[in-house]
Structure 1
Amino acid sequence: MFCGAALVLSGCVSTGADGGATTAMSDGAVTVGIIGDQPDGGDPADGGVLRFASYAPVRSLDPVKTQASGTTGGTELAAVYDVLVRYDAVKDEYEPRIAESLEESDDGLTWTLKLRDGITFSDGTPLDAAAVVASTERYNRLNGPDAQVFTDSVASVEAADPSTVVYTLNQPWRQFPAMLSLGHGMIVAPGAGEGADFTPIGAGPFTVKSLGQTTLELTAREDYWGGAPHLDGLSFVSIAGEKPKIDSLANGDIEMAYLRDPSYVDQATQQFPGYLHRYSLTDQIQLNSRPGRPGADERIRRAVQFALDPEAVNQRVDGGVGDPGTTIFPEWSKWHDAAQIGPAFDPDKARALVGEAKADGAATRLTYVSVQDERSKKYALTAEAMLENVGLTVDIDFVPTVTDMVRRLYVDHDYDIGYTALSLPDAAPYIRLYSALSSTSTNNSSGYRTEEMDALLAKIQQAPDEDAKRAAFAELQQQFTEHAPMVPMASGSNFVAWSPNVYGVTPTMDSVMLFDKAWIKK
């Protein structure tokens, strides 16, 4: 086993449902862990299909096309491919899964991974070091999520022998194991193919029965390396809206649901057991800084920053149950300190900036792209009122689905402003910050690119200890406050709720759930 530098969050550790631990702040609020009252389930029972209402339907089971996070298909991918290592958020430790061990060299430039013996893909071929190298090269060549941070940081990936993979880094990176718990750690079989010929062949506990527009059906593997799963299968279903998910869970129509709307997370944690995980930057206003857009003028970006009041948004949109704030890392995060100061709500300063920019010919009409769900609509209308109060004009363009929103912001860059979430886990915030802010990242949808930001990201990655990293994050916060590449609005929680008769679900990085030991009490 190999560990992080410290616990994810300081505070006490208590026992949660099914023997899981939780980490809490000094006021008792849980920050991460399995929570809720649930009786001892006794001995595991075999059989049954577990029905899970995901945050959004997965459209592809190719890891290069699907972000390996709890909100975007990571749980589905992990069921098919497993992961090289699992992250335990409560202990802040990376535990071997497909890997038997992972060790860092004294100089921090080499990580050596040993594989377990006898693991095979579902097509019967061996999962050996050559397969890991081939899957990694495929992932990077096809530009899978976070491929750029990997290729910028890793000089080489080599099979030293059939069971040993050596990762040589360009610079020390203490959080490198996080990459192997996400997409790069989901190993695709050599025979899987590419493009239209792709077949999801992995070493996970389940295989694909069918994939439709709104459902995914998986079947248990009897020859899974960790032993045959207790469940007969998994069924991932699409349910629009978080209240219908909670109702379906209460009625027994599903066994699990992924929730992130603060008001419904608050409701569900009072009603069901499940896994709670707090994140930084779950709410932010994204601004398009590309040439030809109003946000290319820094005065417009800063006007938006000063015009928005996170506290008022929390009251109007979430009934006061959210965690508003203008710092990237809130007080509960181990990366927060007093030096991280966000901008203050100041509509007068916003009006002055709008007037100044407008006098110089800057555009002040913004297209706000939003999904049509209940909370997003409230958010858009609240932001519209605040922005128009300082002299900006806002046109809201509602799109049908999260997929459409992603295309507008991250593919077509056809927007001026929009509500997004980076959802930074304390374990590995650098990966998503790099993806969103690096000059070389193709996932930099805001178009904000500066040498100063690139230097700050490098400082964060290479920080030798937590104090140095915290200081680098304070510099990043200063950059956000002075130049407004995006506007932090709130941190928040994701809650994966399950019915009281579900046991053995294991969380990993970014609220991805593992089901190899899961079972349903009859």
Structure 2
Amino acid sequence: MTATRGIVGDQAVPGAPTDGGRLSFAGYMPITSLDPTVTPATGSTGGTEMAAVYDVLMRYDADSRKFEPQMAKSLEESVDHLTWTLTLRDGVTFSDGTPFDADAVVASIERYNQKSGMFAPLFNEVVQNITAKDSATVEFTLNKPWLNFPAILSYGHGMIVAPSSQQGDKFTPIGAGPFTVENLQPAQQLDLNARSDYWGGKPHLDALRFVAIAGEKPKIDALKTDGVEMIYLRDADTVNVAKEVFPGFLDFTNMSMVGNINNSLGRPGGDPVVRQAMAYAIDPEIVNERARDGAGVGGSDMFGPQSFWHGEVGGILPDAVKARELLDQAKAGGFDGKITYVAVNSPEAQQVALAVQAQLNAVGFDTTIEYASTTTDMVMRTIINRDYDLSLGALDISDIDPEIRLFNALSSTRNNTIGLKSPDMDALLSDVLSAPDDNAKRAAINEIQKFVNEEQPILTWSSTGEVFIAWSDHVYGVKPSVDLIMLFDKVFIGD
């Protein structure tokens, strides 16, 4: 695979932007709440919808390859790399008419951290203090340098909710973004209307609609027949089909398919020998071939050759003989060989499960597959209750800000899915965060790969996966940000 990040496909050069119309977008997962502390602010889980309501302080610009101010006017770093000063735009208001000022920004971020929004543990790890210096200035004091600090303000921390949003236990989505909420039918449909008083000028679109369409092939059919104007795709076969037909934004992620091992004491994966036996037993290429007909990229590298962060050390290579030896060693210590594998009940997940089960059992494991009926059930089973031994997952780590999802997946300071509690890993993550330049960051990530090769707390089955946001030939002005969060303030539907 040749990794690509950017707008692809042939599309006519647009004329002058036209006003009016409604754009419908079928995302990856239908949204149930517009509270950024409840809904993870990523492109696949509601980040695009929430950015339309709240906007973001910072955004990633694919052309400049830098984080640029969006709601913010500027973000400046001190010489010692420990203080970041955020300056806000003049005259910005929330949709309820109240001022979008430094006090509101500080209050929203503090609320986000108190309610443990996504990436809050990382923010708390790095940021020592947040202060409203005056009505237009927010100062962030860090306890360690983080050159990529602007990244975190492009996710949920940068989606500022109005002080009036939280009234007791009731949350109302009030933001300073380009659209306001007309109607939310959880997990079904979200309708938004354009704001005439948006700081960047009234959006060209009159309205946005986010709809739920089950399955990626039906999404493609809906786009072909003008049932929707944009769709989110991540399955290898549908991405390959769609990018040959539609324009859109193509991105890739690292560790797009992983095996989460429950590292908790008392589970089989609490024994590193069992984890190592699993790792050597499962060939990622076989998983890719059986689950995706070879359309994806199988591999055990955390960051494969396509990645900017690919280092000198790759993942381990499958070795059935070594896997049997390790499993025999674990059984000699009392392990009965039984493994419970959990996955969502979908066609691709079923094929992955069968491929993994066959390879584990071939070296002597006794693997039982159990399916969760919905994604919500899967989250409850694996993340909340941690009632599994091995499960299908994805880290989807971007090359733009790899430290954010690495920390989220592997740090002892958060309730990571695999239950890893390792001071050594925490120290390695700190090295990635504080790296003074790209070479130092790549070297630090390389050390994490070494740790994973030795301890196998998680299994990489696909080092790379493509994600494609496809749109109609008549859609123009989409601004991609980080993590496939799309910004619609300048979008219009042409002739």
Give the TM bin, normalised by the shorter chain. over 0.9
State the shift of 1:56 in Å.
Answer: 0.7
Identity of counterpart residues, as a percentage?
A: 51
Matched, 1:502 2:475: yes
State the shift of 1:101 in Å.
Answer: 0.5
What is the aligned residue count?
493
Instruction: Please give the alpha-carbon distance, in whole angstroms, between the structure 2 residues aligned to 1:436 and 1:30.
Output: 23
Q: For residue 5 of structure 2, give the secondary structure of its aligned residue in structure 1.
A: strand
Instruction: Please give the alpha-carbon distance, in whole angstroms, between the structure 1 residues aligned to 2:449 and 2:167.
Output: 41
Per-residue CA shift, 1:201-234, capped at 9, x if unaligned? 0011111111113111111111111111111111
Matched, 1:448 2:414: no
Instruction: Please give the alpha-carbon distance, in whole angstroms, between the structure 2 residues aligned to 1:108 and 1:464.
Output: 10
Instruction: Please give the alpha-carbon distance, in whole angstroms, between the structure 1 residues aligned to 2:365 and 2:286.
Output: 19
Work out whether residues 4 and 250 of structure 2, in 8 Å CA contact, stay in contact via their aligned partners in 1.
Answer: yes
Runs of 5+ unmatched residues, structure 2: none
State the shift of 1:341 in Å.
Answer: 2.0
State the shift of 1:448 in Å.
Answer: 1.4
Determine the structure 1 residue equivalent to 2:97.
124
Deviation larger for 109-118 or 395-404: 395-404
Runs of 5+ unmatched residues, structure 1: 1-26
Matched, 1:459 2:437: no
Matched, 1:486 2:465: no
Determine the structure 2 residue equivalent to 1:259.
233
Instruction: Please give the alpha-carbon distance, in whole angstroms, between the structure 2 residues aligned to 1:120 and 1:316.
Output: 53
Determine the structure 2 residue equivalent to 1:107.
80
Determine the structure 2 residue equivalent to 1:217.
191
Q: 1:218 to 1:102 in 2, by over 3 A?
A: same
Matched, 1:433 2:406: yes
State the shift of 1:363 in Å.
Answer: 3.9
Deviation larger for 226-235 or 368-377: 368-377
Residue from 106, 113, 118 that aligns with 1:140: 113
Matched, 1:314 2:284: no
Q: RMSD value over aligned CA atoms?
A: 1.3
Q: 1:195 to 1:241 in 2, by over 3 A?
A: farther
Instruction: Please give the alpha-carbon distance, in whole angstroms, between the structure 2 residues aligned to 1:325 and 1:337.
Output: 14
Determine the structure 2 residue equivalent to 1:344.
317
State the shift of 1:195 in Å.
Answer: 6.9
Work out whether residues 241 and 373 of structure 1, in 8 Å CA contact, stay in contact via their aligned partners in 2.
Answer: no
Matched, 1:184 2:137: no
Instruction: Please give the alpha-carbon distance, in whole angstroms, between the structure 2 residues aligned to 1:504 and 1:212.
Output: 27
1:509-520 aligned within 5 A: 509-520=482-493
Per-residue CA shift, 1:303-362, capped at 9, x if unaligned? 111111111222221122212211111112111122x22111111111121122122112
Instruction: Please give the alpha-carbon distance, in whole angstroms, between the structure 1 residues aligned to 2:221 and 2:349.
Output: 20
Instruction: Please give the alpha-carbon distance, in whole angstroms, between the structure 2 residues aligned to 1:280 and 1:489.
Output: 10
1:51-450 aligned within 5 A: 51-193=24-166, 196-213=169-186, 214-338=188-312, 340-442=313-415, 444-450=416-422
State the shift of 1:462 in Å.
Answer: 0.7
Q: For residue 492 of structure 1, give the secondary structure of its aligned residue in structure 2.
A: strand
AA at the equivalent of 2:255: L
Q: For residue 232 of structure 2, give the secondary structure of its aligned residue in structure 1.
A: strand
Instruction: Please give the alpha-carbon distance, in whole angstroms, between the structure 1 residues aligned to 2:391 and 2:70.
Output: 38
State the shift of 1:376 in Å.
Answer: 1.3
Q: 1:351 to 1:190 in 2, by over 3 A?
A: same
Instruction: Please give the alpha-carbon distance, in whole angstroms, between the structure 1 residues aligned to 2:349 and 2:199.
Output: 43
TM-score for both structures, normalised by structure 1: 0.93
Work out whether residues 39 and 45 of structure 2, in 8 Å CA contact, stay in contact via their aligned partners in 1.
Answer: yes
Instruction: Please give the alpha-carbon distance, in whole angstroms, between the structure 1 residues aligned to 2:90 and 2:437.
Output: 34
Instruction: Please give the alpha-carbon distance, in whole angstroms, between the structure 2 residues aligned to 1:504 and 1:89.
Output: 13
Work out whether residues 89 and 427 of structure 1, in 8 Å CA contact, stay in contact via their aligned partners in 2.
Answer: no
State the shift of 1:404 in Å.
Answer: 2.1
Work out whether residues 115 and 129 of structure 1, in 8 Å CA contact, stay in contact via their aligned partners in 2.
Answer: yes
Deviation larger for 250-259 or 313-322: 313-322
Consecutive aligned runs of 4 or more in structure 1 exceeding 6 Å deviation? none
